[in-house]
Structure 1
Amino acid sequence: MSTDKISTQKVNFKVFRFNADEDYLPYYENYTMDITSEEVVLDVLNRIKWDYDGSFSYRRSCRHGICGACAIKVNGRSTLACKESMSTMIEYFGNEITLEPLSTKRAIKDMIIDKGDFWEKHAAVTPYLVADIDESPACENLVSPHDSEELDEADLCIQCGACHYACPVVEINSDFFGPAAFVAAYRFESDVRDSDKQRLINVNEEKQGVWDCVKCIECTEVCPKGINPFSKITKLHQMAFKKGVAKSNVATRHAVGFLHSIKRNGVLDEGGLVLYSEGVHIVKHIPVALQMFRKGKIVLPWNIVKSDNLDEIQKLIKSSSTVKF
């Protein structure tokens, strides 16, 4: 029998409340309670409902971190309520904790949101295996351990939506597929049994595809399964070049120009990169470019100082490059 004492701390919870059937605007209610070192965020949600207000609504199911139903935001940080220790939350944020749904603008009732856009984006990337299958096979369709590792744990996604609603691009661009959809796309695009020809094209289209990712890494920070959606987005970039799907646009030229700049100088030529990416459209950036030049952010081509380790950098680029741009 454990003799460890269970410590408690008094915490004030500022909780998002909204009922789409009754309220014109959302509001916040405060609940102050003693929190034990053993509790998780889901315990707090339960206590609010059981001890304070039975109308308080949220989603929950397995309590084992495998279904994703209880995903919410704690002080703006997406998390699974059943997995996140309150001790950790208090360590991060102190004794003032704000509980909100994954997306306040999609709230239906309290912590419950309409995830319709999430499932639409997920379905749009053909999240299933496309292959000609013999209905009466004579043997198993085996996948080698090496080919299986290429999935890079993308098949572990529980579709909780935490990364989707943490993504700033999703918030402002209704066409953007979002990190969870890209993880699903990568999972099947990297499967040696898959023969779909359209999926990779779809996730490379402007506005909706991987090139509109702003590389903020928020999706990776919040994923409760440690999948790293950003790495899958990067691999989809590489697949696009490798399979000849990438189109010449600002985003793809930015990627190519970045490589050329580092290969040529060992350092990034920001002015040259914008010129390479934008082409004749660079004129719209002239006012900003002048400010950057005055601040020393842009260096004229003949004044760029090459890296002292340029030879080593070029060798690293050559040895690590897996696709031809």
Structure 2
Amino acid sequence: MSTEHKITTQKVNFKVFRFNADEDYLPYYENYDMEVTSEEVVLDILNRIKWDHDGSFSYRRSCRHGICGACAIKVNGRSTLACKESMNDMVELFGNELVIEPLSKKRVIKDMIIDKADFWEKHDAVTPYLVAEIDENPQSENLVSPEDADKLDEADLCIQCGACHYACPAVEVNEDFFGPAAFAAAYRFSADVRDNSTSRLADVNEEKQGVWDCVKCFECAEACPKEINPIGKITKLHQMAFQEGIAKNNVAVRHAVGFKKSIMKNGVLDEGGLVLYSEGPAIVKHLPVAFRMFTKGKIVPPWGITKSENLDEIQKLVKSSSTAKF
């Protein structure tokens, strides 16, 4: 029986983002019609555009093994590592019209190459290394148990490609926000039993720059090519803040506390009560919206909330799963 792999081809139109910050006033798109084989990945297409169509086309690439993160771009708006994604999969997902763009259009230097200075500055701001007193001439290894290693939750597998960072809407609108990749790095070292930092966790809990400004959209989890799930690390940094007693009394923290209290009390979420608990007197600014929601049946007054029939079970579940005091 023959095990020979049959190579197939199909025609694909690539609409490719082009821009040279030194020469162009506005970006534009070039179209390239190409026959794509079943063996090719997106990086092969970038190479062919440069080698066969336009030598000025620019992009980053290095290891070709999905571990350096240099070739991260977007295909039809989806963040991807060019060296990792099969063209067959891209066509199956999006069809035969593919748009190739950089991770961030507003940071483009040339074509697929972007200025990642903000990414590295925010990565550096979270102290992305172990802080510990060490013996310069150790006589034995500093061993970490498998159980303690598991606490890192694969955060150490991040390749700093920037895909999650530039997919984050909070990063786009808040220049102070550290971003999901930086938070993943902060968690990786804060969760390490060898680390003795006293400032990192406080830094990522400051307003505007810290984890409480995350909008929980899960875009970072969708964008990550290594499936590290940065949003999960952000949630764990929230828990660490409560465990260490450094969570501040602000709207975001009160929202987390109020959410748990509401579920414990009713077994269901009291949305109006949650806003009141979170905002306090500032809730008056939400009254026009609250009134419209009330008339549409989207929120109910406290006396109108029907408690869950399984309230006892829900309360036991919340108590058993809580790892920190609020």
Give runs of ≥4 in structure 1 deviating > 4 Å.
Answer: none
SS at match of 2:23: coil
Task: Kindly provide the amino acid, as one letter, of the partner of residue 188 in structure 1.
Answer: F
Aligned to 1:136: 137
Aligned to 2:127: 126
Q: Give per-residue Cα distances to partners, 1:233-282, cap 9 Å, x unaligned.
A: 00000000000110000000000000000111011000000000000000
TM-score normalised over the length of structure 2? 0.98
SS at match of 2:106: helix
Aligned to 1:104: 105
Give the distance between the partners of 1:142 and 1:127, measured in 2 at CA: 20
Indicate whether 1:59 and 2:57 are aligned: no
SS at match of 2:32: strand
Give the distance between the partners of 2:316 and 2:204, measured in 1 at CA: 31
Shift of 1:137: 2.5
Aligned length: 325
Shift of 1:6: 1.6
CA RMSD of aligned residues (A): 0.9
Give the distance between the partners of 2:68 and 2:46, measured in 1 at CA: 17
SS at match of 1:123: helix
Shift of 1:2: 4.3
Indicate whether 1:233 and 2:234 are aligned: yes
Task: Kindly provide the amino acid, as one letter, of the partner of residue 149 in structure 1.
Answer: D
Shift of 1:144: 1.1
What are the within-5 Å matches in structure 2 for residues 177-216 of structure 1? 177-216=178-217
SS at match of 2:231: helix
What are the within-5 Å matches in structure 2 for residues 165-184 of structure 1? 165-184=166-185
TM-score normalised over the length of structure 1? 0.98
Indicate whether 1:221 and 2:225 are aligned: no
Give the distance between the partners of 1:70 and 1:197, measured in 2 at CA: 35
Indicate whether 1:268 and 2:264 are aligned: no
Task: Kindly provide the amino acid, as one letter, of the partner of residue 36 in structure 1.
Answer: T
Aligned to 2:17: 16
Task: Kindly provide the amino acid, as one letter, of the partner of residue 90 in structure 2.
Answer: M
Aligned to 1:244: 245
Task: Kindly provide the amino acid, as one letter, of the partner of residue 325 in structure 2.
Answer: K
Q: Give per-residue Cα distances to partners, 1:201-225, cap 9 Å, x unaligned.
A: 1101111110111111111112111
SS at match of 2:29: strand
What runs of 5+ residues in structure 2 fail to find an aligned partner? Answer: none
Give the distance between the partners of 1:20 and 1:143, measured in 2 at CA: 48
SS at match of 1:227: coil
SS at match of 2:119: helix
Give the distance between the partners of 1:265 and 1:222, measured in 2 at CA: 36
Shift of 1:3: 3.1
What runs of 5+ residues in structure 1 fail to find an aligned partner? Answer: none
Q: Give per-residue Cα distances to partners, 1:85-125, cap 9 Å, x unaligned.
A: 11111111111110000000000000000000000000000
Q: Give per-residue Cα distances to partners, 1:21-70, cap 9 Å, x unaligned.
A: 10011111111111111111101101111111000000001100010000
Aligned to 1:93: 94
SS at match of 1:88: helix
| Percent of residue pairs bearing the same amino acid type | 79
Indicate whether 1:6 and 2:7 are aligned: yes
Give the distance between the partners of 1:264 and 1:37, measured in 2 at CA: 56
